[in-house]
Structures are given as structure tokens and as C-alpha cells.
Chains A and B, each alone.
Chain A
Amino acid sequence: MAIAGLSLDVRSGGLLVISGSFGVIALGVLAAAFVLARASFLGPAVLVLELAYLQHVLLAGPPTVVEVAVVSLAALLAGELGQWSIDNRTVRIEAGQLQSGRLRAILGLLVVSGLAVAAVAFGAVAPVVAGPAVAIVAVPAAVAAVAIVSLAATRAARP
């Protein structure tokens, strides 16, 4: 809802209709995922939410980095909470179980993602001048990123 609200362009009636229709479609897909308990609808819902915001960026001009960071984390939160909600609905939860574990994991993911977003945002706005200091930070970071992606790919390839 927050993303759809942020995506609205109220400068003219036509723009309002265009930006509003994106938000309505995004919320419709998300609602369908909840109502039908279909986890496969969550990905498209996140995609449409972010498209709705991007069209706002295209029409209204570049936003602040903080706003984009909040939108990106909100989209992730929508997907994760949606999955949690669907999972909870499809099973009969035994007394006192399953409620807190996933929420803690989502919170942890949000924190890690927030840090990553902050790092990317800082990289985007900070006046960085090429030099040995940058190389000392950037090269290990790039190697670490490649290692993490390789490890993840190895795990994904495991049958």
C-alpha cells in the first residue's frame, strides 16, 4: 500500500490514472495471492509493485536514494510476509508453534538487506575518487561477492 501510495503522480488527472492503475494491479495480484493462497503470485506481485514505483521515477524524475531504499525493502517485506501468511494458512498450526521463528528470520533478513541497501546507496551517492584506498576495499569486496555467489550457485545446483 505504501509503495502504491508513493507511486501515485498527482500532477495531472492522466498521470494519476496511469500511476494509480499500476498500484491497483499490484495490489490486485497481491490480494489474489493471499485469497487463493498461491505463493507463485508473490513474485509477480513484487515485480508489479516495483514497476509501479519505477514508472513514478520515470515520470516524476529521480527520487531521493532513501526513498528508493525504503521502497526496495518494503517490496521485499511484502513478498516475505505474503509467503509467511500463505504458509500459515495452509497448515493447521499446533499449539504455540511456527509463529515466531519465521518472523525472526524475516526480521534478520530485513536487517541484512537494509545493510546491503545502505552500502549500495552510500556507494551511489558518496563522492568516491579512484585510488589505492578504493582498490583495497573494492577488490576484496568483489572477490567476496563472487565467492558468495559461487557458493550459492553450488548449493542451488545440488540435487
Chain B
Amino acid sequence: MTRHPSPRLRAYILIGATWLLVGAAFGRPEPIILATPLLVAALAGLLLGKEPEVEVDLSLSRDRVLEGESVDLDVRLGAARSVPWLELALALPPAVATAEPAAVRGLTLEPDSGVRLSIPILAQRWGAHRVGPAVLRMRDELGFFAFERALDPGPILRVFPRSEEVRRAIPIGQTNASFGNQVSRASGDGIEFATARAYRPGDSVRRVNWRLSNRKSELHVNEMHPERSTDVVVLLDTFTDVVTPAGSSSLAAAIRGAHGIADHFLRRRDRVGLITFGATTRWLVPGMGLRQSYRLVDALLDAQAAVSFAWKGVDLIPPGSLPPRALVVALSPLVDERAVGALFDLRRRRFDVAIIEVDPEGFAELPTDPLASQALRLWRLQRAMRRDEFRSIGVAVARWAAPEPLEAALEEVRAFRRTGRLVSA
């Protein structure tokens, strides 16, 4: 705790001492009478200014909220001795705001009767944000001394992104052996009809197609597509984040999209993993269920773009986080060459890749002068060529101009994967 004397304490002592000297020098009582109240006040301030002891507890009514929701920050203050003047200043990270404009709150504390403040704060942007730091400033009875104390770091508020709505899944080529909701291309026990074939010993009688058998004069059985689960790995490009002056960013949009896609596949009981590929590469091994959903959200909250000049490839990704039959759904602005190279590399390694291109143009100020406009046209052409390159090796690329619905981009991916042909890269 640091102690700061009020400027007026120094002034009172200085003025009082000066008048005393003047009075003594000229032998007049008037300056001494003028000095008396100031010196008495200064003495009283020095004698009464005791260091207060205050206990503070900061807590959140909820530590996990969705973007745009508000939460109450509870501040409990208590003191063994009376604190006549207490100011609480709370600094909040930019992504979190208070509903009330005043940042400093003033109150008094009586002994053994704590004060509880409830400060509503609004979570404006996803992420893990530490609420604080908070500073207490206490004054003595006469305000001659201020005692300042920085509080311990406040609680962490985890703001989950509002996920994009995904209604239909991306068709997936390869499935796992375990049961799920994805209709497998293989034949076996299932609901969806696949084909009919001649009866073989051991086939179940219930699968005999009597109408076809009658026509062919030979027993035929129906073959079905079994429902299987799939592995989906959401790859988030964190090399680049295009941010508008208003604060919306391509990475935030990508995270919302990633959350929506992951959530959709998890609800279908598929195994979903996550790789954040950027300056820091992090991964989450595919898993399923509610716990995996929470893990995914926590991993997404930690995703952030950072400047890095190191060349990074898919070699950095551990094999366990990329199962061989997994569908890799990449969300990337396709701006950084390292991310683009990694996606080509994944396809060359025969992974099934689909790319949601988070359109960076929606987050950038477009130039108006002719020269820059020409450059922009060239850049767009290059990007179109890159998309064609991806498509030529069987990778679906769909542009997503956030905040448009993600479903439109996913429909483009679905259409490509229905009609397109996976070729060897």
C-alpha cells in the first residue's frame, strides 16, 4: 500500500510556517492568527491519518458467458476499522465494458459491516478476459492522506463466441467403424438402401428382396449403407487477422464459424478435433461428446493471431490430431503463404480437405486511387487462381463474406463435394 499526502497538506504547512515567520519578524499577532487554523488542520491530518485495512473480494456471478451477454461483477468490501472515504477504480479490458460510465466509485465502510457492490459488465468480444486490475484508494477522515492499494488480479471471464448456425453437414467420403449419423459409402447393416445382389450363404433371410428375386428367379438380397461416425478436424488459420477500425476481425468470424461447424458435427456424434495453425500451433485430438465441446470452446478462446516470421508446415502437427480418414475443414483468409502451403500439403498427403475462405476484403478498407485499384484487381485475380488450384486437386473452396450466414458458404462446399471428383493431388 502506498501513501500519498494531499497537496493541501504541504500547502497548509508552508503557508502556516510563512505566516509564523512573518508574525515573529514584524511582532504582529495577525499573521500568527492566520497561520493557526492551517497548522492545526495540518497537525490533525498528520495525527489522524491512519493506514486503513480493507479486505476485498472480486467475483463474477458467472464466469462463462456468450458474446453480448452481461454478467455481474460482485465486489465485497470489509474493514475492521471505519474507512470514511474509499474509492474503487476498476480497469476493464477493451473487450469488456461496464454499463455505467463512471469508472471510480466512492463509498464508506463501517466496521464489521461489509459493503457489496454489483457492477454489471457487458461481454463485447469472445475470449478469456481478466477483469481488472482494480485499485483501491482510501482517504482519512479529513482527506489529508490517500492510501492506494492495487488489488490482486481479478477473476477471468470466459466469453464464448456466438456460433454460426449450421443446418446440414458437409458430405464426408470416409467414415469410421463406429456407429454414428453419417451414411457410409460401404455396404452393411443400415437404413439407407445401397444395392441388391445375389444371395450368398449366410445372408439374413430378412434382407431378401422378394420382388426382385421373383423377377430374376433367383434369390437377391438388399445391401444397405451403414450409419457410421466420422472424424472432422477444424483447422483454424491464425497466421492472419484482418481487423476493421470498428473492431470486427476475420479471426473472430473464423472462430464463430469453427465453433458452429464443430458444434454441428458433435451433435451428430462425430469425433471433432481442432488445430489452430499460426504463430503458435495448438491442437485438440478428435473426440466426441459434451466434454469435447467444452474443450473445443476453451481452445478456441485461446486462439489469437500473433506475428511470426518462422516458416511452419504441417510437419508441426502431431499425427494423432489428424486421423487419416478425417475431413479437414479449414477456415482461413488464404492470405498467409504458410497457411496456403500447409493446406496444399495436407491435400497432397491425401487428406480430405474443404476450405471456408473467410473473405478478408470485408474487413479491409478498399483503396480508391486508380493505381491501388489496379493492384487490388491483380490481387483478386491471384486469389481466384489459387482457388482454382485448390479445386483442381479436389479441394472445395467457398468464400464466406462474414457476417453473411456461414450456411451459404457451406452449401457451396456441399455442392462441390457432390459433383466434384476427388483426384490424387
Listed in ascending order, the chain A residues whose CB lies under 8 Å from chain B are 39-40, 42-44, 46-47, 50, 53-54, 57, 62-63, 65, 68-69, 71-73, 75-76, 79-80, 83-84, 87-88, 90-94, 97-98, 101-102, 105-106, 109, 112-114, 116-117, 120-121, 124-125, 148-149, 151-153, 155-156, 158-159
Contact = CB atoms under 8 A, between A and B. Distances in A.
Given A97-B106, A116-B40, A155-B46, A83 B31 contact: no
A44 B11 contact: yes
Q: Interface residue tally of chain B, by bracket?
A: 35 or more
Give the top 4 A-B pairs by smallest Cβ distance, nearest first. Answer: A43-B11, A91-B106, A92-B102, A124-B29
B36 A117 contact: yes
Contacts of B19: 50
Contacts of B105: 91-94
30 contacts: A39-B6, A39-B7, A39-B8, A43-B7, A50-B19, A50-B34, A54-B30, A72-B36, A72-B38, A83-B6, A88-B106, A90-B104, A91-B102, A91-B106, A94-B105, A94-B106, A94-B107, A97-B106, A101-B84, A101-B85, A102-B143, A105-B84, A105-B141, A105-B142, A113-B36, A113-B41, A120-B36, A124-B33, A148-B43, A155-B49
A87 B137 CA distance: 12
A101 B108 CA distance: 8
A102 B139 CA distance: 10
Contact of B32 (A43, A44, A97, A124): A124
A75 B38 contact: yes
B207 interface: no
Contacts of A151: 46-47
Contact of A101 (B5, B32, B141): B141
Interface in B40-63: 40-44, 46-47, 49
Nearest to A79: B8
A159 B46 CA distance: 13
Interface string B104-117: 11111000000101
Instruction: Count chain A CB atoms within 10 A of each CB in B46, B84, B139 and give the residue with the most.
Output: B46
Nearest to A121: B33
Interface string B1-43: 0010111101110110001000000001111111111101111
Chain B binding surface SS class: helix
Given A97-B106, A97-B107, 16 more contacts: A43-B12, A46-B15, A46-B38, A50-B15, A79-B41, A83-B8, A83-B143, A87-B139, A88-B106, A92-B102, A92-B104, A114-B37, A120-B29, A124-B29, A148-B43, A159-B3
B37 A72 contact: yes
Contacts of A87: 85, 106, 139, 143
A65 to B, nearest CB: 7
Nearest to B38: A76
B87 interface: yes
Given A90-B104, A148-B43, A65 B33 contact: yes
B365 interface: no
Contacts of A39: 6-8
A93 B85 CA distance: 10
A43 B43 contact: no
Contacts of B84: 101-102, 105
Nearest to B49: A155
B332 to A, nearest CB: 45
Nearest to A145: B43
Instruction: Count chain A CB atoms within 10 A of each CB in B6, B33, B42, B139 and give the residue with the most.
Output: B33
B100 interface: yes
Contacts of A116: 36-37, 40
Contacts of B40: 109, 112-113, 116
Contacts of B29: 65, 68, 120-121, 124-125
B104 A91 contact: yes
Contacts of A93: 105-107
A151 B115 CA distance: 33
Contact of A112 (B30, B44, B143): B44
A42 B11 contact: yes
A63 B11 contact: no
A92 to B, nearest CB: 3
A18 to B, nearest CB: 19
Nearest to B5: A156
Contacts of B6: 39, 83
Contacts of A94: 105-107, 115, 117
A113 B37 contact: yes
Contacts of B87: 91
Contacts of A112: 40, 44
Given A102-B84, A109-B41, A120-B36, A42 B8 contact: yes
A109 B142 contact: yes
B331 to A, nearest CB: 43
Contacts of A53: 34
Contacts of B142: 80, 102, 105-106, 109
Nearest to B30: A68
